[in-house]
Amino acid sequence: MGRLAKRLNQIYNKLSQGDEKGFLYYSAFLPLYFFSLLYGIGVRVRFFLYLIGLFKTRKLDCKVISIGNITVGGSGKTPMAIFLAEKFREKGKKVVILSRGYNGKIKDIGVVSDGENILLGPEDAGDEPYLMAAKLKTIPVIVGRDRYTTGLYAIERFKPDVIILDDGFQHIRLYRDVDIVLIDLRKGFGNGHLFPLGTLREPFSGLKRGTFFLMKGIRPLFEKNASQLFISLIKGLAKARPNGAIEHCLGYFTYESKNICNLFDNDRLDVSILKNKRVIALSGIADPKSFKHTLEGLGASVIKEIALPDHYAYTHKDIQIIAREAEGVDMVITTMKDAVKLKSFSIEHLPIYALDIEVEIEGVEIFEKVAGLH
């Protein structure tokens, strides 16, 4: 049912982007609404069972910080987990990252990196855990569906001061000291409905569990686009804090692109080289439009967009198609998340580069204080 619901959601989203909503749009609405009701019942029952204590929330013997959201799709969780892990490492703390390993083959516990060597590839670990391991190098990355069990293993083997949960907001079986919630200001909360009719993973009220909210975008976008319900919620949470200031539970972040990396020889070029270049935007991520807009913002002329499903598993046939499409263009630009999978193919004949991004946080001092870096 999950796969069918996801496919229906893709159809509904595609159809609803048009100005006119025709027969197919309304045909998809009813089944999506039905699946959304079932999903909502399941989510609410699960949270209720934790609330009354029938399901137990377990605590680990170290600090646990979750990076997550309440919507499906990308909002910057993996780059933020990398950013936070690097900050703790700079402070001399021992850090381990735990990830579910979505779309990977590991079913139990898998050590993607032990902090010295990368032990699993993207096919086994999942693309995002592998990307974190490749970027962080000296920080262990572990995948496992049960974060509590995986956390116990991490403590026994690596003895961390801090565990960071990548995409862990809904994993309430494990107690978190800090819950950092990311919200994309451009997409917001969609139409306000639960998956698959909308993009919400859980009811809007779940945001009350958040410790700190990071908005992907700039402050004026929040003031312009944020719903009154969300603003009221943030203000209510702020009043419950010792200082009672909204600034102490709210921040903003954006991405800064500094260079592009050749997938074949790892040669790095400054992003300024993209100005006026004819490029193909290649991505298998949740929000391909955001990637295309980023390239255009760097001055590139995106003459074609190849947007594939999130966590897409590339094949040799795909490489052949990309090679044909690349004829007559200056570069093919992809994401770092896609790059870890594309590198396993023979791509030396392709002018293909990955756009490297870094997180920039407005009011980083407050964020670091909330996270426990001060």
Secondary structure of the chain in the HEC alphabet? CHHHHHHHHHHHHHHHCCCCCCHHHHHHHHHHHHHHHHHHHHHHHHHHHHHCCCCCCECCCCEEEEEECCECCCCCHHHHHHHHHHHHHHCCCCEEEEECCCCCCCCCEEEEECCCCECCCHHHHCHHHHHHHHHHCCCCEEEECCHHHHHHHHHHHHCCCEEEEECCCCCCCECCCEEEEEEECCCCCCCCCECCCCCECCCHHHHHHCCEEEEECCHHHHHHHCCHHHHHHHHHHHHCCCCCCHHHHEEEEEEEEEEEEECCCCCEEEHHHHCCCEEEEEECCCCHHHHHHHHHHCCCEEEEEEECCCCCCCCHHHHHHHHHHCCCCCEEEEEHHHHHHHCCCCCCCCCEEEEEEEEEEECHHHHHHHHCCC
Instruction: Let me know: does 164 contact 67? Beta carbons within 8 Å.
Output: yes
Note whether 194 and 203 are within 8 A (CB): yes
Residue 227's pLDDT is 62
145 within 8 A of 100, measured Cβ to Cβ? yes
State the pLDDT at residue 107: 84
Q: Of the ranges 12-26, 181-195, 305-319, 351-365, which one carries the lowest mean pLDDT score?
A: 12-26
| Residue 56 belongs to some domain of the structure | no
Q: pLDDT per residue over 346-374, tens digit each?
A: 888 899 999 999 999 987 887 888 888 87
**Confidence class of residue 133 from pLDDT cuts 50, 70 and 90?**
very high
Query: What's the mean pLDDT in 326-331?
Result: 94
Identify whether 57 is part of a domain: no
What confidence tier does 198 reach under pLDDT thresholds 50, 70, 90?
confident
Averaged pLDDT score across all residues of the chain: 87
Please state, in angstroms and rounded to a whole number, the distance separating the CA atoms of residues 211 and 176: 10
Task: Specify whether 265 is located in the same domain as 209.
Answer: no
Contact 139, 89 (CB under 8 A): yes
Q: Is residue 157 part of a domain?
A: yes
Domain check: are 365 and 238 in the same one?
A: yes
Mark whether 174 and 283 lie in a shared domain: no
pLDDT tens per residue, range 31-70: 888 999 999 999 999 999 999 999 999 999 999 999 999 9
**Are the CB atoms for 253 and 76 separated by under 8 Å?**
yes
Same domain for 96 and 216, yes or no, is: yes
Buried b (16+ CB within 10 A) or exposed e, 206-219: bbebbbbbbbbbee
Hey, what are 249's tokens?
Answer: 């539970």
My answer on whether 243 and 99 are in the same domain is yes
Residues 148-192 pLDDT 10s: 999 999 999 999 999 999 999 999 999 999 999 999 888 878 788
The conformational region for residue 50 under phi > 0 = left, psi -120 to 50 = alpha, else beta, is: alpha
pLDDT band of residue 21 (cuts 50, 70, 90) is: low
Burial 317-337 (b: 16+ CB within 10 A, else e): ebbeebeeebeebbbbbbbbb
The enclosing domain of 150 has a CATH number of 3.40.50
> Is the pTM of the predicted complex or chain greater than 0.85?
yes
Checking if the pLDDT of 5 tops 70, the result is no
Instruction: Check whether residue 234 and residue 248 sit in a common domain.
Output: yes
246 has a pLDDT exceeding 80: no
Average pLDDT over residues 20-29: 66
Has residue 303 got a pLDDT over 90? yes
Q: Please check whether residues 262 and 199 belong to one and the same domain.
A: no
**Cβ atoms within 10 Å of 239's Cβ, excluding its own:** 11
105 and 159 belong to one structural domain:
yes
Residue 30: which domain range? 2-51
Based on the fold, state whether residues 207 and 71 are members of the same structural domain: yes
DSSP lists the bridge partners of residue 13 as none
CA–CA separation, 21 and 19 (whole Å)? 7
* φ, ψ at 253 (rounded to 5°): -140, 155
Query: β-strand 250-262 against 212-216: which pairing, if any?
Result: parallel
My answer on whether 282 and 345 are in the same domain is: yes
The number of folded domains in the chain is 3
Tokens 């898998």: give the residue.
110
In a domain, 236, yes or no: yes
Instruction: Report the pLDDT value the prediction gives residue 27, as an integer from 0 to 100.
Output: 76
What is the predicted pLDDT for the residue at 190? 79
Residues 114, 137: Cα–Cα separation, whole Å:
9
What distance in Å separates the CA atoms of residue 342 and residue 323, rounded to the nearest whole number?
13
- Distance in angstroms (rounded) separating the CA atoms of residues 151 and 154: 5
